[in-house]
A = this chain, B = another copy of it.
Amino acid sequence: VRVTTLAIVGVGLIGGSIGLAARRRHVAARIIGFDQDRTAIQRALERGILDEAAADLLTAVAAADVVVFCTPVDRIAAQVRTAAAACRPGTLLTDTGSTKSAIVRELQGNLPTGVDFIGSHPLAGSEKQGPQSAHADLLERCLVVVTPAETKNDNALSRVAAFWQALGASVRVMSPEDHDRALALTSHLPHLVASALAGVLPPEWAALTATGFRDMTRLASGDPALWAAIFQSNREETLAALGRLEEHLGEFRQALADSDGNALTNLLRQGKRIRDELTS
């Protein structure tokens, strides 16, 4: 893939890392960025993430052949609709939002002819934020789930897959619904649990936490507004995943209440077996 002009809307951790990767791997001849936060734009220019800062969203996308929206999930669909009106035919739009069904549903059939949107979700991220935390290898060996609407043309899908691969990521195609169901459990639930676990720590016991508690709550440092929006845009599936965990916690509770050492050991074995198969 050789992109003539790449536009990045939202130059935080993900947007900034896309810019750095695109530059290092010579994926784009020119990189334009837009962000409502002037400080973020300033930092992105200083770090060489962008060649140019656009004055507004429409200016950024009008010049681009590929646009990536790296903004909060509750704003992406509206921004894409606004931006699409200013795009040249043939422009490819994608995003990096953590939920996909709501966004894809809202955009399906609502874009000008010749302008394609394909949803994407790079499974990268961190509790850190902002372009100052961006790094060129965040996308290396990272999986990007690409979630075309059913009606999507194959050409746009190939272009978006090639774009992510050119940045060093691998690509998996899923329906937006399958993506949201899986990610509710593999990403949204862990975040919710990290926050809940941190939330029950009485301040006087903070000194009695070690690596375990800290690893288990690190995600809780993420941005509350961003995550509230993610949970709400994937409400049903997050509730279902939470229900599954609550039920399983209930099995631990029962085994413990019954002082049933075998049941407890078996539950712990099940967790270990599944965890040991994940790398790192």
Contact = CB atoms under 8 A, between A and B. Distances in A.
Contact of A190 (B145, B197, B256, B272): B197
A208 B214 CA distance: 23
Nearest to A226: B268
Contact of A261 (B195, B232, B268, B274): B232
A271 B193 CA distance: 10
Which of A123, A194, A208, A246 has the most chain B CB atoms inside 10 A of its CB?
Answer: A208
Given A219-B212, A256-B235, A264-B232, A197 B206 contact: no
A270 interface: yes
Interface string A224-268: 110111011001001101101110110011001101010011111
A100 interface: no
A198 to B, nearest CB: 4
A205 B185 contact: yes
Given A208-B123, A209-B278, A220 B272 contact: yes
Contacts of A126: 211
**How many copies of this chain are found per oligomer?**
2
B210 A125 contact: yes
Given A200-B244, A205-B182, A225 B195 contact: no
A155 interface: no
A33 to B, nearest CB: 25
B212 A190 contact: yes
A18 to B, nearest CB: 16
B216 A268 contact: no
B145 A208 contact: yes
A244 B196 CA distance: 10
Pick the 7 closest A-B CB pairs, nearest first. A195-B271, A224-B268, A198-B271, A220-B275, A220-B271, A123-B210, A198-B275
20 contacts: A123-B208, A125-B210, A126-B211, A145-B208, A183-B208, A190-B212, A190-B213, A193-B193, A195-B267, A196-B267, A198-B270, A199-B270, A206-B274, A209-B278, A213-B278, A217-B274, A217-B275, A221-B276, A228-B265, A239-B257
Given A193-B216, A224-B266, 16 more contacts: A123-B209, A143-B210, A186-B201, A187-B212, A189-B197, A190-B212, A195-B270, A195-B275, A196-B245, A196-B248, A200-B245, A215-B219, A220-B274, A222-B272, A232-B256, A235-B256
